Amino acid sequence: MKHNSENYRSNCPINFVLETFGDKWTLLIVRDLMFKSKQSYGEFLHSNEKISTNILADRLQKLEFAGVVIKEVDKKNKSKLLYFLTEKGKDLLPIMLEITAWSSKYDNKSNTPNRFIQALEEDKVGLSLNILEQIP
Amino acid sequence: MKHNSENYRSNCPINFVLETFGDKWTLLIVRDLMFKSKQSYGEFLHSNEKISTNILADRLQKLEFAGVVIKEVDKKNKSKLLYFLTEKGKDLLPIMLEITAWSSKYDNKSNTPNRFIQALEEDKVGLSLNILEQIP
DNA sequence: CTGTATCCTTAGGGATACTG
DNA sequence: CAGTATCCCTAAGGATACAG
């Protein structure tokens, strides 16, 4: 695995996030951490999109390297590892909310609960994470 | 070129945007249309990130197919084609703004003008597009 | 269970030539 | 200028086996 943090294609802020999240998998891991309270390798592995094990390991490393995620030993089970969002990772919340809002408007198949949409409209950002656990 | 609109991996709203924008190039075209007033093939081609011609043609087709962009003949020059964001495309603005805000916080190299950041903080969404032309 | 490693196929993408 | 087409290489990723 390689970390390409040095050779950015430009100094554009849009490009900056693409360097880390510009693929089909990385943001799904963030979603699982942020909205689904998943925190272990196996939980990520069994998401609907069926990420394969090598890709998952690669993306977790990249997210860790990017400072979006940290890995810790489970205090209750020393042989288990848990992943957590850092502050930098949690700060992706507004982006995730806007993405959800856009999809909810334009994808008739995306089944975001209405009560979530409503909460979104009432208080665009700064939502508590609890309400988000309802997202499919 | 193929359009994979049918075989979504899931009905998740996060996944929905990844199906269209989950790569390193597509969002840069949206950026050029939204923030840089670019509207022709050649203008996209000469962005800092140096997209190659085949990729650009492919992504423009996909964006058109996704209803994010429309292509029209330039009324002043019949042999010229112009691209525009649709309403669906313009609705990506809040996502783009949140992305910019996040990058500005975490990328010391991303040179977003301070006056833009300030405007962002004062009025999180619903900005006029004019102010955004200042983004590099 | 949490990963690594390997094998192999496909998709992404750079370079360049070419066409209307 | 606005693309298409082709060649070719590399990166992404699926499947599966294996290890701690």
| Whether A9 and B103 lie within 8 Å, measured CB to CB | no
CA of B40 to C1' of D2 (A): 9
Closest nucleotide (C1' vs CA) to A56 is C3
Are residues B39 and B98 in contact, defined by beta-carbon separation less than 8 angstroms?
A: no
Judge whether A31 is closer than 8 Å to chain B, CB to CB: yes
Tokens of A48: 């609907």
Q: What does the pLDDT read at residue B66? A: 94
- Tokens representing residue B81 in the block: 């084609």
Please report the pLDDT score of residue A119 as a whole number: 53
**CA quadruple A69, A74, A80, A81: dihedral, nearest 10:** 10
Distance from CA(A66) to C1'(C3), angstroms, rounded: 20
The number of beta carbons lying within 10 Å of the beta carbon of residue A123 is 12
Task: Report how far apart, in Å, the C-alpha atoms of A80 and of each of A33, A45, A49, A58, A98 are.
Answer: 16, 15, 24, 18, 34
Closest CA to A20 of A11, A32, A8, A31: A8
**What is the predicted pLDDT for the residue at B27?**
97
What local confidence, expressed as pLDDT, does residue A83 receive? 96
pLDDT for B117 equals 57
The pairs formed by A123-128 with CB atoms below 8 angstroms and a separation of 24 or more are A124/A97, A124/B124, A124/B125, A125/A93, A125/A94, A125/A97, A125/B124, A127/A93, A127/A97
**Weakly modelled stretches of chain A, pLDDT under 70:** 1-7, 110-136
Confidence at residue A65, expressed as pLDDT on a 0 to 100 scale: 93
What are the per-10-residue average pLDDT scores of chain B (136 residues)? 58 92 96 91 92 94 95 85 93 92 85 59 45 49
Question: What pLDDT, on the 0 to 100 scale, is given for residue B22?
Answer: 95
CB B35 within 8 A of CB B85: no
B/e letters for A23-53, b = 16+ CB within 10 Å, e = fewer, are: bbbbbbbbbbbbbbebbebeebeebebebee
Asked if B14's CB is within 8 angstroms of A48's CB, the reply is: no
Query: Cβ contact (<8 Å) for B10 and A95?
Result: no
Instruction: State whether residue A14 sits within 8 Å of chain B by CB.
Output: yes
Q: Residue length, chain B? A: 136
Q: B73 to chain A, minimum CA–CA distance in Å?
A: 27
CB-nearest partner of B10 from A10, A49, A105: A49
Q: Is B133 exposed, middle or buried (CB count within 10 Å of its CB: 0-12, 13-18, 19+)?
A: exposed
Q: Does A110 touch chain B (CB under 8 A)?
A: yes
Q: How many CB atoms lie within 10 A of CB A3?
A: 9
User: Do the Cβ atoms of B22 and A23 come closer than 8 Å?
Assistant: yes
Q: Is B91 within 8 Å of A102 when comparing Cβ atoms? A: yes
Query: pTM here?
Result: 0.86
Q: Can you spell out the DSSP letters for B25-50?
A: SHHHHHHHHHHS---SHHHHHTSTT-
CB burial of residue A131 (10 Å; 0-12, 13-18, 19+): middle
Cα(A62)–Cα(B120) distance, integer angstroms: 29
Q: What's residue A77's pLDDT?
A: 83
Q: How far is the alpha carbon of B88 from chain A, nearest alpha carbon, in Å?
A: 8
